[in-house]
């Protein structure tokens, strides 16, 4: 089992990624990028393949090197904002139960998206918004840099070893690990490299997350897999 920095019972804070972790936005992201690609006469499948593993500006440089990156970004933001207003969204099972059970000041959102979009999606899915939300505009370095998670911890008044990170993507996992935090992976068919524990879904992680931050883990708790 990989050693967890906070396994001694010191973890008191939970830091959540948003898209793919709490909100199911895969179809929305795919549609936005396909629409953007068609606007520029590009292959939607190729653009989306690149977008999955790079940041927007890097995507533009690779798939549309002859286009003005500022214009490309403005077009993407326009489509994303429209999607927040009119797209179909759903929270992952267990998200509402988990977030509603956490004490104010004990959790935060750390996202590569922008705060107004997160708030829009949370409003439409009925999820509560915490006091601390670190978005793309709040940091100069995004994931996989440790900066976003370190900023969230600082704003909560927490030490890294007191924080449990919940992530669904390799870049977010790396960000949390580099910040010196315990990282659990969810909503992935297999354990991502480096995670301390893996759960096939967010719902499977709910009881364990609450047990870690609110008290001793009950004997026989099911649904988790320690990474060997």
Rounded to 10 deg, the angle between the 26-39 and 69-86 helix axes is 140
User: 87 vs 36, 69, 124, 133, 186, CA distance in Å?
Assistant: 15, 25, 10, 22, 24
Q: Count the Cβ atoms, other than its own, within 10 Å of residue 224.
A: 17
Q: How far is CA 187 from the centre of its chain?
A: 11
Torsion of CA 43, 46, 49, 51, to 10 degrees: -60
Whether residue 17 lies in the annotated active site = yes
Whether residue 68 lies in the annotated active site = no
Q: How far apart are CA 133 and CA 155, in angstroms?
A: 9
Compute φ and ψ for 90, nearest 5 degrees.
Answer: -145, 140
Q: How far apart are CA 23 and CA 99, in angstroms?
A: 12
Residues annotated catalytic, as ranges: 17, 19
């Amino acid at each position: 089992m990989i050693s967890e920095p906070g396994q001694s019972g010191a973890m008191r804070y939970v830091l959540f990624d948003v898209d793919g972790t709490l909100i199911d936005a895969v179809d929305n992201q795919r549609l936005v990028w396909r629409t953007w690609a068609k606007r520029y006469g590009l292959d939607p499948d190729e653009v989306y393949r690149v977008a999955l593993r790079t940041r927007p500006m890097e995507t533009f440089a690779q798939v549309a090197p002859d286009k003005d990156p500022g214009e490309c970004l403005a077009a993407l933001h326009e489509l994303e904002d429209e999607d927040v207003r009119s797209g179909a969204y759903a929270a992952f099972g267990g998200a509402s139960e988990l977030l509603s059970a956490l004490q104010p000041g004990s959790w935060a959102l750390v996202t590569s998206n922008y705060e107004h979009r997160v708030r829009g999606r949370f409003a439409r899915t009925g999820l509560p918004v915490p006091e601390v939300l670190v978005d793309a505009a709040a940091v100069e370095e995004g994931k996989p840099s440790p900066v976003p998670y370190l900023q969230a911890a600082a704003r909560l008044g927490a030490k890294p070893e007191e924080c449990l990170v919940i992530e669904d993507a390799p870049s977010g996992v790396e960000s949390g690990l580099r910040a010196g935090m315990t990282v659990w992976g969810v909503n992935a068919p297999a354990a991502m490299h480096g995670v301390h524990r893996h759960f096939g879904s967010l719902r499977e992680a709910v009881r364990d997350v609450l047990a870690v931050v609110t008290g001793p883990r009950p004997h026989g708790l099911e649904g988790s897999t320690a990474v060997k």
